[in-house]
Amino acid sequence: MTAGQPQPSMRSVERAFDVIEVLERSDKPLRLSEVARRAGLSPATTLRLLGVLQRRGFVVAGQQAYHLGPAALAIAHGFLVTDGLSRAATPVLQELAATTGLTTTLHIRSGLERIVIARVDGADPLRYQLPIGRRLPLHLGAGKVLAAAMPDDELDALMAAVRDLGTAGGKPVSEADLRAELEQIRERGYHFSMNERVLGSSGISAPVPAPDGHSMASVGISGPAERHPESEMLGWVPELRRAAAALGRARDL
Amino acid sequence: MTAGQPQPSMRSVERAFDVIEVLERSDKPLRLSEVARRAGLSPATTLRLLGVLQRRGFVVAGQQAYHLGPAALAIAHGFLVTDGLSRAATPVLQELAATTGLTTTLHIRSGLERIVIARVDGADPLRYQLPIGRRLPLHLGAGKVLAAAMPDDELDALMAAVRDLGTAGGKPVSEADLRAELEQIRERGYHFSMNERVLGSSGISAPVPAPDGHSMASVGISGPAERHPESEMLGWVPELRRAAAALGRARDL
DNA sequence: GAAAGACTTTTCACTGTGTGAAAAGACTGG
DNA sequence: CCAGTCTTTTCACACAGTGAAAAGTCTTTC
């Protein structure tokens, strides 16, 4: 079960997921040639892969262009049904949203990004559309508590992968700045952010504890920055920790 | 873009999705040997596939067992954002739910099953948990309007694949019965069902029109059978048709 | 309306990827 | 402590997956 050193790979399978990822990251349907270009594959190979994906329902070919198919929803459903953390999330987030009046969100780290797993809007909803499943960066906002829990080699990979570490507020951030901030987060056990990923938004987040210390999940609460000053947010830290602990317990159920 | 005759396949990619499907259809995490057994693969191959899927975030290895990972949610998000029908669905279903007071659902056919794409609960909610993304059969309930729109060869495949065509109400159904019913649905343009897939539930559904006539999507309204008699349901047919037409227009947007 | 250009699809011969049997190494429980 | 089952590694072989190029479409331009 532990990661072996040589990491046996399977080129064609890997490429199939490259194609899926290209489609996932595009906000509109893509033509064959465009998929091939973005995935770095030959048109012939891309066509064959798309054919398989299409028969599996992961890709749908509209007139002139491909996009993701409904099987994507089916596996998401499978994930939500099996995953202990997701199943535990809704009630815990609801309670946290009710007591704080803020929007609560649960993220899981996946590779060098995080994914929104669950979310409950507070009384004061900052709503953007359908955020569940959205991929977000690890170096901004609530992502930092996940970055803070990464093993060194993965953290190095993250630093190498991200071009611009600066915030939405326009503040430039060096690698050293970020590393120092992560160290703080490790000590304090939470993170307060403001104007980091989204302008005008602030929030606090905490890791969901994991047995091995490398937490893969975080809970956060957030709201409009001008209406919820830092002092108020910090007051919620104990509640946030309680929720994080509850989720940690529920995880391996 | 049309389906070629020889259908070029890619064994390893196909197998990767077999593994995903095994995990999707299991309601609990599975051990390596069990995944291998269910997918009909050798343990060595299964292990390699799971490794790739794990690095991609589609599979997570908990202690002793594998289950689907958060990347499943990420591609579902990608699907919902790109798919015209899904994007159009919420407002249309909401309106339909508001006027009828019933629960409204949108399905898409995927292979020989249908998948719940969107759903809005009515005033009288028959709620089961998280149905979006759920796979449901084509030969019961709202599935029939999709089956009715299938090309002959696929319909034959469906008939061959389903073991027991009978309903939840216990009524046995022969292949001839079903084919006759599908013919009726083609004529009428809608289907009324009661105790077919779910005991105590009844509803009507209609195909979302497609340019080529082979509709891949259906809208339906449903509620507790004893509180909503057939006569009431049939009264909603015009509303249902209007919603279906609206969705058909929005699809290729 | 013809011709150029871009895109999609098919074909095919080669090679390196994906394969499973078998061995080695972990667990688990009796 | 041993037997049985499960996971992981290794390895030699065969064929699945590959991309260049040709053939076939569709689209645009003048």
Residue-level pLDDT at A93: 96
Of B51, B108, B134, the CB nearest to A8: B51
Amino acid B2: pLDDT: 40
B114-124 per-residue burial string, b: 16 or more CB within 10 A, e: under 16: bbbbbbbebee
pLDDT of residue B62: 86
State the pLDDT at residue A107. Answer: 97
- The mean pLDDT of B122-144, rounded to a whole number, is 84
pLDDT for A3 beyond 50 = no
Confidence label for A6 from pLDDT (cuts 50, 70 and 90): low
Least Cα separation, residue B229 to chain A (angstroms): 32
How much is the average pLDDT of A24-32? 95
Residue B10 predicted with pLDDT over 50: yes
pLDDT tens readout for residues B58-82: 999 988 899 999 999 999 999 999 9
| pLDDT at res. B252 | 66
DSSP per-residue letters across B89-112:
HHHHHHHHHHHH-SEEEEEEEETT
Residue nearest to nucleotide D8 (CA to C1'): B44
Residue of B nearest to A24 (CA): B78
Q: Length of chain B in residues, anyone?
A: 253
User: Does B2 contact strand C, using a CB cutoff of 7 Å?
Assistant: yes
CA of B150 to C1' of C12 (A): 35
Instruction: Note the CA–C1' distance, B9 to C3, in angstroms.
Output: 37
pLDDT of residue A2: 41
User: What gap in Å lies between CA A108 and CA A86, rounded to an integer?
Assistant: 10
Rounded Cα distance between B19 and B46, Å, is: 8
Q: What is the C-alpha to C-alpha distance for residues B164 and A225, in angstroms, rounded to an integer? A: 58
Contact in structure between A116 and B70 (CB atoms under 8 Å): no
Question: What's the whole-number mean pLDDT along residues B148-177?
Answer: 93
Q: Is the CB of A44 under 7 A from strand D?
A: yes
Percent of chain A clearing pLDDT 70 (strictly above) = 94
* A4 has pLDDT over 60: no
pLDDT score, position A7: 72
Buried-exposed string A40-61: b where 16+ CB fall within 10 A, e elsewhere? ebeeebbbbbbbbbbebbbbbb
Q: State whether the beta carbon of A1 lies below 7 angstroms from any atom of strand D.
A: yes
pLDDT (mean) for B16-25? 98
Who contacts B238 (Cβ-Cβ below 8 Å, separation ≥6)?
A: none
Q: Specify the pLDDT at position A123.
A: 80
**CA-CA distance, A9 to B52, in Å (whole number)?**
6
Rounded, the Å distance between the CA of A56 and C1' of D17 is 19
pLDDT at B7: 72
Angstrom distance (rounded) from CA B129 to CA B106: 16
Strands (E), B180-250: 191-194, 201-208, 217-224
Nearest residue to A68 via CA among B217, B252, B75, B9: B75
pLDDT at B157: 94
* Chain A CB contacts of B48 below 8 Å: 8, 10
Answer yes or no: do A70 and B115 touch at CB < 8 A. Answer: yes
pLDDT higher than 90, residue B213: no
- Residue B39 falls in which region: left (phi positive, over 0), alpha (psi -120 to 50) or beta: alpha
User: Residue B169 has what pLDDT?
Assistant: 87
Q: What is the DSSP string of B23-60?
A: HHH-SS-B-HHHHHHHHT--HHHHHHHHHHHHHTTSEE
Q: How far apart are CA B249 and CA B209, in angstroms?
A: 8
pLDDT of res. B96: 96
For residues B146 and B3, give the distance between their C-alpha atoms in angstroms, rounded to a whole number: 20
